[in-house]
Amino acid sequence: MKELRHLMTPLDFDTDELDRLFDKAGEIERHPRDFVHACDGRILATCFYEPSTRTRLSFETAMLRLGGKVIGFADASSSSASKGESVADTIRVISCFADICAMRHPKEGAAMVAAAKSEIPVINAGDGGHEHPTQTLTDLLTIRSLHGSLSGFTIGLCGDLMFGRTVHSLIHALVRYSGIRFVFISPPELKVPDYITEMLTARGIPYEEVIRLDDVIPDLDLLYMTRVQRERFFNEEDYVRLKDFYILDKEKLSRAKKDMHVLHPLPRVNEIAVDVDDDPRAAYFPQVQYGLFVRMALIMTLLDLTEDHMNHGLLKW
Amino acid sequence: MLNVGKIEEGFVLDHIQAGKSLSIYYQLGLDKLDNTVAIIKNARSGKTGKKDILKVEVDIDTLNLDVLAFIDHNITVNVIKDGEIVEKRSLVLPKEIRDIIHCHNPRCITSVEQGLPHIFYLADEEKEIYRCRYCDQKYRKRDGEKL
């Protein structure tokens, strides 16, 4: 019997496995009709202990688009957790109902606890501020699809680089590819943590740290925007002084390369002006679409659904 | 001065920080052994003034002593055969430690889920940094919590 596979962090898949996953996502994008029965008879449980709109709907849509069904709960108050049930017990119960589970939990490491006790594949759909691997897979697939490759580019990461888990996970995932140069654009208070720059130095990966997006935007092949939250600043004056450096508008974008792509994990507040949305370089809504494709490919991969399985339906039931 | 006799076969843990021998006794599971164990507290030490010593009459290879390196680098391990020291064993930081330290990150699942083992993995040997297996919270040994 094949070993049960889970997804806890983006690094759980090596680059060859990611290539296969992204190839599968590409097939789904090109031929969605070929996959409408891929998960016939299968059930995805979405166990969301805290509210999330996009991630939960993306998982649910992914399963429905594959022909499967969805059960689950959308916040802890409507689950047995409100009665004090442990994550370990919940997943044992869910294992009796569903074929695969996507779990979001406010506590860091919750999905790992679930995976250790589960009899079905568990996908970490976000565990507090720790990991959110399907966002990273989404980012990687978006870059691969739009830029054409996961190597040989300069990527600017802009905004809150200290607390932004999506940024940290993306950096860790990208360092496995070659020819990537990082440009970190943030206020001094929200610089990328030392352990990341130390890791880049140790691996000989080039990076630079700057304060103003304006100074570097012409050099970038990709720009990954994140929110800069007011409450992260030590004082209001600094926030007011610095916030415009991290807002992407048409004027700043006019200085960027014609084939640069702008990504954002969403939700956006004001860090990307609405008038940028119509620019062909704005990739943050297509990014959501890639998130769906990659989740579809991930569900199929973790359920080990090869073409053969799809045709002959090796079902648990 | 109190005199504790030599052991014939087994090992001696010397230069234990004074007062720590009992916690090491439990962490190595010596309380579960049927063999002779001598716990010597506050012995005189030229280097540190006072030290603890553990003498254990059991084959050293039946125990996992890796955790000692995590607890205290200064502990020396002398392997005894026929009443003589035949080997001084060096300590290596364990790759993983279980239920020795606890994760203090209030956002970690270990803060709410009952019955979970507290597991830390060695993330950086040179800097002696461990991280919580669940939340990756950093624990630097030299900043350490009391064991």
Bridge partners (DSSP) listed for residue A70: A44
A243 and A304 housed in the same domain: no
The pLDDT of residue A316: 56
d(CA A220, CA A150): 15
N-to-C CA span, chain A: 17
With 0-12 CB in 10 A as exposed, 13-18 as middle and 19+ as buried, what is B21?
A: buried
- Rounded to 10 deg, the angle between the A15-30 and A133-147 helix axes is 70
Higher pLDDT, A82 or A97: A97
Facing A128 at nearest CB: one of B107, B113, B133: B107
A82 and A148 housed in the same domain: no
d(CA A225, CA A10): 20
pLDDT tens by residue, A156-206: 999 999 888 899 999 999 999 999 999 999 998 889 998 899 999 999 999
CB count within 10 Å of CB A132 equals 23
- Which residues, including other chains, have CB under 8 Å from residue A195's CB and lie 6 or more apart? none
**Confidence label for A114 from pLDDT (cuts 50, 70 and 90):** very high
Q: Is A168 annotated as catalytic?
A: no
What integer is the mean pLDDT of A137-148? 97
What integer is the mean pLDDT of A106-130? 95
The catalytically annotated residue of A24, A104, A144, A227 is A104
A169 and A267 housed in the same domain: yes
Q: Is pLDDT of A295 > 80?
A: yes
The proportion of chain A whose per-residue pLDDT surpasses 90, expressed as a percent, equals: 78
Any B CB within 8 A of A57 CB: no
Range of the domain at A112: 10-131+289-312
A166 and A214 housed in the same domain: yes
In a domain, A144, yes or no: yes
Contacts of A86 in chain B (CB under 8 A): 113-115
In a domain, A46, yes or no: yes
In a domain, A227, yes or no: yes
Any A CB within 8 A of B102 CB: no
Q: Is pLDDT of A309 > 60?
A: no
> How far is residue A233 from each of residues A203, A240, A248, measured CA to CA in Å?
31, 10, 19
What CATH number is associated with residue A154?
A: 3.40.50.1370
Q: Is pLDDT of B107 > 80?
A: yes
Q: What is the DSSP letter of A209?
A: E
The pLDDT of residue A315: 54
In a domain, A65, yes or no: yes
What integer is the mean pLDDT of B33-50? 90
A263 and A148 housed in the same domain: yes
User: Distance from B16 to chain A by nearest Cα, in Å?
Assistant: 33
Is the sign of the CA dihedral A97, A103, A104, A108 positive or negative?
Answer: positive
d(CA B107, CA A127): 9
A244 and A234 housed in the same domain: yes
Instruction: Give the pair of three-digit tokens for residue A20.
Output: 């296969």
The proportion of chain A whose per-residue pLDDT surpasses 70, expressed as a percent, equals: 95
Facing A107 at nearest CB: one of B112, B115, B133: B112
Q: What is the CA radius of gyration of chain A?
A: 20
Contacts of B116 in chain A (CB under 8 A): 113
Q: Is pLDDT of B146 > 50?
A: no
A142 and A252 housed in the same domain: yes
Any B CB within 8 A of A108 CB: yes
d(CA A255, CA A260): 10
In a domain, A3, yes or no: no
d(CA A300, CA A93): 22
A146 and A196 housed in the same domain: yes
ipTM for the complex shown: 0.85
What integer is the mean pLDDT of A231-250? 82
In a domain, A47, yes or no: yes
Q: Is pLDDT of A312 > 60?
A: no
Instruction: Give the pair of three-digit tokens for residue A8.
Output: 């806890």
Q: Is A316 annotated as catalytic?
A: no
Of A126-135, A266-275, B34-43, B63-72, the poorest mean pLDDT is in B63-72
Widest CA span in chain A: 64
Strand A222-225's sheet: what is its strand order?
A: A207-210, A180-185, A153-158, A222-225, A261-263
Q: Is the peptide bond before A267 cis (omega within 30 degrees of 0)?
A: yes
In a domain, A4, yes or no: no
**Confidence label for B1 from pLDDT (cuts 50, 70 and 90):** low
A60 and A33 housed in the same domain: yes
Bridge partners (DSSP) listed for residue A222: A155, A261
Q: Is A105 annotated as catalytic?
A: no
Any A CB within 8 A of B108 CB: yes
The pLDDT of residue A259: 97
Q: Is pLDDT of B147 > 70?
A: no
**Confidence label for B4 from pLDDT (cuts 50, 70 and 90):** confident
Q: Is A147 annotated as catalytic?
A: no
Q: What is the dihedral of CA A234, A237, A238, A240, to 10 degrees?
A: 120
A141 three-state secondary structure: helix
Contacts of B105 in chain A (CB under 8 A): 108
Any A CB within 8 A of B133 CB: yes
d(CA A209, CA A190): 11
Any B CB within 8 A of A112 CB: yes
The catalytically annotated residue of A9, A55, A138, A301 is A55
A98 and A59 housed in the same domain: yes
Mean pLDDT (chain A) is 92
A171 and A231 housed in the same domain: yes
CB of A246 within 8 A of CB of A227? Answer: no
Identify the H or E element spanning A60.
Answer: helix A54-65
A137 and A275 housed in the same domain: yes
Q: Is pLDDT of A307 > 90?
A: no
pLDDT tens by residue, B64-95: 888 888 888 789 999 999 989 999 988 888 99
What integer is the mean pLDDT of A138-142? 98
Residue that the structure tokens 């966002």 belong to: A135
Any A CB within 8 A of B107 CB: yes
Do the chains contact at A129 and B107, CB–CB below 8 Å? yes
Give the total number of structural domains in chain A. Answer: 2
pTM of the predicted protein model: 0.87
